[in-house]
Structure 1
Amino acid sequence: MPVPGTKSACDDAIVARILQLLAQPEHGSSALLVRAESERRARELAEIYSAAGQPVEVLVSRLPEREKSRIVEGLQTGSIRAVAVVGMLGEGFDLARLRLAAYHDKHKSLSSTVQLIGRLVRPSPRFPQPSVLVTVQDTDVYPALRGAVKSLWEEDSDWSVLLPRIADDQIERTVADRRFAERLEAAPAELAVDAIHPMVAARVYEARQNDWKPCFVNGDLPDAIAVGRMLRGKQIYYASVTPDQQTLMVITQAATGPRWHMDPGLDSHEYELHLITWVPAKKSHEQGLLLVNGENGQVTNELLKALGVEREHLRIADPALLQGAFDTLPRLSVSNVGVRNTYAGGRGAPTYKTFAGSGVDRGLREADTAQAAIGHAMAQVEEENSTYTTGIATAKAKFWEARNVPLRLYQDLLNDFAERYWSTELAANPLLPDVARGLRLAKFPSGDVVLVELNPDLIGRGWTVANGTPLETVDIELDTSAARTADVFPLKATDQLRNEVIWRGHQDVLGDFHDAQDTPPCIAQRGWATRRSFSELLDLQPPNIYFYDGTTVHGGLKYEPVSPMRTLPSVKTLKPSWAGVDITAETDATAAEHGNGISVQSAVADQIAATPTSYARRWILGNDGGGELADVIVLEVDHGRRARIALWHVKPAGTATPAVRVSEMQVVVAQAIKSRRWLTDLSLWEEMGKRLTGEASPRLTIIEGSERLLRVLLGINPAHRSWALNQNTRLVRGEVVIVQPGLSWAALQNRLGHADLSAQQVRDLLAVFDDAVGQRGGTTVVCSD
Structure 2
Amino acid sequence: MPDLIDSEFEAQESLLNYVADFDGGSIDIDLKTIRPLGVVELREVRASRDYEPGFFVQDTMPKEFAVGQEFAGFRVTLAQRSPDRRSLYLCFAALVKPTWSSDEALTTMESHLCILTWHPDPSDSNKHQSVLGVSCTDNRIKNRVLAILDPEEALTIADVGKLQRVIDSLPRMSVSNVGVRSTNGIQVGVAQYVNYSGRGVDRGLGAASMGLKALGHAMIQLSGDGRSINAGIAVEKGKYWELRHMGLVEYWEWVTALISKYWSPGDPIAQRLLPALARGSRLNEYPDVDVLFAEIDPLLVGDHWRFTETDTALGDVKVRAKLTGGRLQVWATDPAAAVEVYLGTYAPGSQTPEGVEACSVWRGGGYPVELADLFIDHPPTLWLLDGTTIRGAVVYERPRGSSLLNADFVEAWDWSGYEKTSEKGSKERNIPRSKSIHAKVEAHLLELYGDAHVELWHSIASDSAKSSLAHAPFQEVCQQGMKSRRRIIDGTLWSTLAERLPGAGAKTPPSCMSADHRSKRSEPSSVWNRWKAYPITPRTLPLQPAKSSWYNQDSAAARY
Give 1:433 shift: 2.5
Cα separation, partners in 2 of 1:576 and 1:285, compared to 1, 3 Å: same
**One-letter code aligned to 2:477:** V
Distance 2:144 2:291 in 1: 37
**One-letter code aligned to 2:360:** A
CA contact (8 A) 2:25 2:67 kept: no
Structure 2 SS opposite 1:648 = coil
CA contact (8 A) 1:436 1:561 kept: no
Give the one of 465, 476, 482 matched to 1:667: 476
Gaps of 5+ in 1: 1-113, 119-163, 613-619, 621-631, 635-646, 702-709, 714-722, 737-785
Distance 2:337 2:306 in 1: 18
Give 1:667 shift: 2.4
Distance 1:604 1:678 in 2: 29
The match for 1:649 is: 458
Give 1:669 shift: 1.9
**One-letter code aligned to 1:511:** S
The match for 2:523 is: 729
Give 1:298 shift: 2.4
Give 1:276 shift: 1.4
Cα separation, partners in 2 of 1:414 and 1:712, compared to 1, 3 Å: same
Q: Quick check: which one's helix share is greater?
A: 1
After TM superposition, list the pairs within 5 Å mapping 1:40-51 onto structure 2: none
Structure 2 SS opposite 1:412 = helix
Structure 2 SS opposite 1:672 = helix
After TM superposition, list the pairs within 5 Å mapping 1:474-489 onto structure 2: 474-478=317-321, 484-485=324-325, 487-489=326-328
CA contact (8 A) 2:171 2:222 kept: yes
What do residues 190-222 of structure 1 show as CA deviations (whole Å, max 9, x unaligned)?
866444322110122223365322222256323
CA contact (8 A) 1:342 1:373 kept: yes
**One-letter code aligned to 1:373:** A
Distance 2:207 2:44 in 1: 34
Give 1:282 shift: 2.7
The match for 2:398 is: 561
Distance 2:403 2:267 in 1: 23
The match for 2:273 is: 431
Cα separation, partners in 2 of 1:549 and 1:675, compared to 1, 3 Å: farther
1:547 and 2:384 correspond: yes
Distance 1:232 1:504 in 2: 21
Distance 2:334 2:246 in 1: 51
Structure 2 SS opposite 1:273 = strand
CA contact (8 A) 1:587 1:602 kept: no
The match for 2:117 is: 277
Cα separation, partners in 2 of 1:680 and 1:469, compared to 1, 3 Å: closer
The match for 2:167 is: 326
Distance 1:260 1:489 in 2: 40
Give the one of 491, 500, 508 matched to 2:347: 508
Cα separation, partners in 2 of 1:580 and 1:200, compared to 1, 3 Å: same
Distance 2:346 2:157 in 1: 16
CA contact (8 A) 2:425 2:435 kept: no
Distance 1:174 1:297 in 2: 31
CA contact (8 A) 2:24 2:81 kept: no
Structure 2 SS opposite 1:729 = coil
Distance 2:462 2:344 in 1: 56
After TM superposition, list the pairs within 5 Å mapping 1:135-174 onto structure 2: 168-174=6-12
Give the one of 205, 223, 233 matched to 2:43: 205
Give 1:354 shift: 0.5
Distance 2:112 2:336 in 1: 45
Give the one of 357, 371, 377 matched to 1:521: 357
The match for 1:408 is: 249
Structure 2 SS opposite 1:562 = coil
Give the one of 110, 125, 132 matched to 1:290: 132
Give 1:301 shift: 3.6
Give 1:662 shift: 4.2
Structure 2 SS opposite 1:395 = helix
**One-letter code aligned to 2:320:** E
CA contact (8 A) 2:234 2:240 kept: yes
1:699 and 2:540 correspond: no
What do residues 112-170 of structure 1 show as CA deviations (whole Å, max 9, x unaligned)?
xx3xxx4xxxxxxxxxxxxxxxxxxxxxxxxxxxxxxxxxxxxxxxxxxxxx5x65445
Aligned residue pairs, count: 517
Give 1:377 shift: 0.8
Cα separation, partners in 2 of 1:276 and 1:675, compared to 1, 3 Å: same
**One-letter code aligned to 2:226:** N
Give the one of 683, 692, 712 matched to 2:515: 712
Gaps of 5+ in 2: 527-532, 537-560
Larger Rg: 1
What do residues 388-426 of structure 1 show as CA deviations (whole Å, max 9, x unaligned)?
111111112222111122211111111122122233757
Cα separation, partners in 2 of 1:313 and 1:664, compared to 1, 3 Å: closer
**One-letter code aligned to 2:115:** L
What do residues 744-777 of structure 1 show as CA deviations (whole Å, max 9, x unaligned)?
xxxxxxxxxxxxxxxxxxxxxxxxxxxxxxxxxx
Cα separation, partners in 2 of 1:522 and 1:304, compared to 1, 3 Å: closer
1:376 and 2:376 correspond: no
Which deviates further from its counterpart, 317-326 or 174-183? 174-183
Cα separation, partners in 2 of 1:311 and 1:331, compared to 1, 3 Å: farther
Which deviates further from its counterpart, 584-593 or 280-289? 584-593
After TM superposition, list the pairs within 5 Å mapping 1:37-186 onto structure 2: 114=1, 118=2, 168-184=6-22
What do residues 409-468 of structure 1 show as CA deviations (whole Å, max 9, x unaligned)?
111111122122233757473322232222222322223432233444444633427887
Structure 2 SS opposite 1:238 = strand
- Identity across matched positions, percent: 27
Distance 1:374 1:572 in 2: 29
Give 1:682 shift: 11
Distance 2:376 2:102 in 1: 38
Cα separation, partners in 2 of 1:512 and 1:293, compared to 1, 3 Å: closer
Cα separation, partners in 2 of 1:571 and 1:193, compared to 1, 3 Å: farther
Cα separation, partners in 2 of 1:531 and 1:684, compared to 1, 3 Å: closer
C-alpha RMSD of the superposition: 4.4
Cα separation, partners in 2 of 1:496 and 1:290, compared to 1, 3 Å: same
**One-letter code aligned to 2:515:** V
**One-letter code aligned to 1:393:** A
Distance 2:161 2:308 in 1: 35
Structure 1 SS opposite 2:166 = helix
Structure 2 SS opposite 1:334 = strand
Cα separation, partners in 2 of 1:281 and 1:531, compared to 1, 3 Å: farther
The match for 1:762 is: none
